[in-house]
A and B are shown apart, each in its own frame.
Chain A
Amino acid sequence: MSKGSLPGPAGDVRSGRAQADAPGGRLAHRRWRAAPSGGTARSGSAYRLPPALPGLTWLVVVGAVVVAPWAGIGGYWTRQIVLIAIMSSVVSGLNIVFGYAGELAVGQAALYAVGAYVAGYMSVKLGVTDIFLCLAAAIAAVIVVGLISGLPGLRLGGWALAMVTFYLVLLIPDFVNLLPAQTGGAGGLAGIPNPTIFGAQLTGNGLYAVIILVTAAWFILFRNVVKSPYGDRFLVLRQSPVLMSTLGVSVFRIKLLAYVIGAIPAGIAGVFFAFYSTFISPDSFTFTLAITIFAATVIGGSRSIYGAILGAALLIVIPGEFASFNEYATVIFGGFLVLAGVLFTGGLADVARLIGRRLLPGRGNRPEAVAATMSDQALALPAEIPGRELRVESLSKSFGGLRALRDVSLSAAPGSVTAIIGPNGSGKTTLLNVICGYYAPTHGTVRLGDEVLSGRPPHSIARAGVARTFQTPIVPTGMSTQALVATGRTVLSRAGLTQTALRLPRFRKARSADESVVTGLLRALGIDHLAAVDVASLPLGTRRLTETARVLAAAPALCLFDEVASGVDGEDLARLVRVIEGMTRAGATVVLVEHNFPLVLEIADTIHVLSNGELVATGTPSEIAANPRVLQEYVGVAPGAGDDAQPE
């Protein structure tokens, strides 16, 4: 949870963004508490790229379902299956927005209604029955509605978004009443004709087949997006917007993207509903429906692909089977929601996975063997890293009455290690955050090469080539080491959403290029045997190595390491040192913000010392080590020591 997503009392004085978002913040510990233990990761892009088509099983199942009516399953079950298919689409949209991206945009019912009414209007009032046209129009309509209602809610996020989207559902009757001629008003729109495909009418089983096939196609696309770097990005977004902007993606834009993607299946489902039931009215789209959809997401498992189908099936079949169930329906749904929220957050899909893990003992690696083993082979880092010079000029930063940085000027050259050290409270973390764009400076500028960085948002700075690690490594749950390192490549991403969804050649090329880079980096850092392991189960030292690999994956112009040695020593530290040295040999600009004096003395080329927000010394390690003022500020050895702290 992040405090920032709740509309709480006016925010912290420190920054425009919620304090919880600042890296190194105390809420960082919360991420550790949520970490599951051991086990293989469920992240989108696993060690091996899954094939685009989910395989023979799927084709068989879909095929069977399609031909079922002709095989004689009867009208009742045909109808049930259509409803399940339609509902699954709607629920899957909510899965993307709520489960993956973590946004509380829960008004799928409203978008569903939009799709239905567009189809109804076009076919009844305009006489357009071509199913592709109706689908296209509905998709366009829901995207527009989704954007309009999403934009204001996204600015606040959290509850505001939930409320705006719920509100939309309540307004459906009003919008319908506004244009009674077009929508049939409160009485509903009856007599929706059969849709046509390439001119031929689709009736009964034909319509059924089309619905099933389109739904199946949507799920394939859905799956392709989820099990790809895009899916990983959504995972990151949900758990750490800070990491997201560090990867060069505007949090705002990707949220909007998730919202739009989630709207599409709802629109499609609405079209099918309209054609299948031939009658729609505001009563078909109630608040209860909205809650039912929400319940289906939660119960099925909001982060699962097939959970959508499972949840939808449960919520359609069970009430259908037990007639008296309807009276208890809301109570049961409500109870389920509460239970699901309290007991298992991943819904039934997670329960299934848990059972699977118990039954199959081979899966799930306990981290005994995860201490990274020292690799004997020479460090095979990229031959060339395009480092550029960092220049900080007269930088000042104040938070209310707190002057965290006063007129600090320093620089870091490519091919060298520059350390910024100072005691806690000296402002070095603030300096790091200003460079990365989490805070705008009060005065002064930050330049990278000839680009000005200061004043730009964090994702823009990341795109300029700045990559960083965090004092507490940010490791989202549910991701493998390989996937996390691969997210570093987001900044260089060449494959768009469409290419990803359709698994077009450009996506495959980009994917294999990424894979080889990532594998190479993992091997270079000696952690390639951990590639498929859930990164949240790794010990601290290995997490830092993973983060370092993530930084390297971005081929960065500037590498910022935030207290990379903290809590780490022995072999892990030696390895980190080797990596850093290798990086500088390859031309990277490495900046270490550090507290660890001897490490800095050992590997830095230039050291800048901060104290109380001011730069008090700059020089080579030997100069700094001999500087009495540094020792005093840093370690507290006062000249003429002893008197100051005596009582009386």
Chain B
Amino acid sequence: MRRVQVTMLSLSEICASYGDLRVLSGVSVTVRDGRVTTVIGRNGAGKTSLLNVAIGLPPTLNSGRVTLADSDVSRAQPYARAAAGLALVQEHKRIFRLRSVEENLLLGGYVRRRRFRSSRREMQPRLERAYQRFPELRDFRTTQAGRLSGGQQQMLAIARALMSEPSVLMLDEPSAGLSPALQKRVFGLIAELRSEGLAILLVEQVIEPALALADDVVVLDNGRVAASGPVSEFQDRALVERIYLEGDPSVSGAASKDTSWTVNHTTRHGDGD
């Protein structure tokens, strides 16, 4: 994969809300080239909101910055961020159900079209590469996307995001609803992409494979960062499970010599701010 620019996605001190409802408070996450940053947390923790803020969709960014490859994109529209190399695989397999598989892929590559006289034909080489990576999609290229099985739809969603040759790929719970075999395939694919140099931000709810894949880990709880650091600090799986499952990271005496690991207590009271 050709990359034109140095890539890094940085979300710093993100505070975001839906109207009056605060969903993220002071969240900072960094994603680097050739590394997988995994974000885990329970439902309602704000994982999807985080990805949405990164791409420029609601919730509204109240304060904080989104930086993509040294440029501040906090005010940029989603299409501009996509053009700058940020791709998002949304949760629930959000593909265009009424369009065919091939049309979905073409739409994914739209952002890389020629400035003038763009055509479907120019997308052919890219399409070819997509079909090579996902051979099952080739068989269904003219099938309406809504008719595919859940697993195929998820593959299509990922393939579509890759059509834009992004420098940063964000995935929102790609394993949800997939059989163990398919999950394995998805995680294997992510590892492959990482070795090709892509910067990956992975949001997941299944802890074990997500951590196995991770280089850096962020644990979200109720809109705040409960813990973050390189994955080596998270070797104690039981600890992680407790943080994730119990959501009250009153971790004492954790291996915190490394200052990159921060553990915050989350307090919960009507955050009227």
> Contact residues of A with B, CB < 8 Å?
9-10, 12-14, 26, 29, 32-35, 37, 366-368, 370-372, 400-403, 423-427, 536-537, 539-542, 563, 566-572, 595-598, 612, 635-638, 641-642, 644-648
Contacts and interface: CB of A to CB of B under 8 A. Distances in A.
Contact of A35 (B20, B97, B183, B245): B20
Contact of A644 (B149, B212, B268): B212
Nearest to B144: A13
Q: Which of A424, A426, A641, A642 has the most CB of B within 10 A?
A: A424
B149 A366 contact: no
A401 B208 CA distance: 29
A562 to B, nearest CB: 11
Contact of B268 (A12, A402, A403, A571): A571
Contact of B179 (A34, A571, A612): A612
B253 interface: no
Nearest to B21: A32
A563 B43 contact: yes
B176 A423 contact: yes
Given A637-B207, A644-B209, A401 B148 contact: yes
A439 to B, nearest CB: 15
A367 B272 contact: yes
Contacts of A366: 272
Interface of B: 18-21, 42-45, 58-59, 91-92, 97-98, 144, 146-150, 152-153, 173, 175-180, 183-184, 187-188, 191-192, 194-195, 205-210, 212-213, 222, 237, 241, 244-248, 266-272
B212 A403 contact: no
A506 B153 CA distance: 56
A646 B191 contact: yes
A366 B245 CA distance: 34
A34 B176 CA distance: 30
Nearest to B146: A13
B18 A425 contact: no
A22 to B, nearest CB: 11
Contact of A424 (B43, B59, B222, B268): B43
11 contacts: A371-B270, A402-B153, A403-B149, A425-B178, A539-B21, A568-B44, A570-B269, A596-B247, A635-B241, A644-B187, A645-B213
A597 B245 contact: yes
B54 to A, nearest CB: 16
A536 B44 CA distance: 18
Contacts of B153: 401-402
Contacts of B43: 424, 563, 566-567, 595-596
B20 A647 contact: no
Contacts of A595: 42-43, 205
A372 B269 CA distance: 9
Contacts of B195: 647
A423 B270 contact: no
Given A563-B44, A645-B187, A570 B270 contact: no
A33 B18 contact: yes
Given A598-B246, A645-B213, A37 B20 contact: yes
Given A13-B146, A644-B212, A537 B20 contact: yes
Contacts of B97: 12-13
Contact of A400 (B19, B91, B147, B180): B147
B42 A641 contact: no
A569 B272 contact: no
A402 B212 contact: no
A367 B212 CA distance: 43
A172 to B, nearest CB: 40
A597 B213 CA distance: 23
A569 B192 contact: no
A10 B183 CA distance: 32
Contact of A425 (B144, B177, B212, B213): B177
Q: Which 3 A-B pairs have the closest CB atoms?
A: A425-B177, A636-B206, A371-B270
Contact of B147 (A13, A371, A644): A13
A161 B58 CA distance: 31
A540 B149 contact: no
